[in-house]
Amino acid sequence: MAERDDTMAQYCIQALRTAAAELNTEPLELAKRLHDGEIARLAILLNAALRHIDHPGLRHRVEDLLSHVTAGRMPMSTEPETELDWALRTLQRRRAAGEAGGGDAGDHPDA
């Protein structure tokens, strides 16, 4: 179990470093912004935006990326979330962070 945790930690560290380099930001700052499911939220929003991508090549690359990242489990072109869905999900994350003693829910980018 410890070996698996070490492997996962190494993959996470490398993923953050790679993404941070591509986004021209610091890995720790990126990690702080991505906690609480922000990566999943980004994938969901990108999936919902697919219907608005007119360029076929770009649309195909986004579909391929989402399919690869989710191991083919994400249904493509799902309905975009409403403002109410977004607000409720944000409130749930803030409450969960407060209950977990996170204390920095006010630092969340959606605040």
Residue 4 lies in a domain: yes
**Residue 111: CB partners within 8 Å, gap ≥ 6?**
94, 105
Q: Per the domain annotation, does 5 fall within a domain?
A: yes
How many domains is the chain partitioned into structurally? 1
Chain segment 16-70, per-residue pLDDT in tens: 999 999 989 999 988 888 887 788 888 888 888 888 888 989 988 888 888 888 7
Percent of the chain with pLDDT over 70: 84
Query: Which structural domain, as residue segments, surrounds residue 15?
Result: 1-34
Q: Say which residue, 34 or 77, is predicted with more confidence.
A: 34
pLDDT at 105: 44
List C-alpha distances in Å: 28 to 19, 36, 55.
11, 15, 34
For 15-45, b/e burial (b = at least 16 CB within 10 A) is: ebeeebeeeeeebeebbeebebebeebebbe
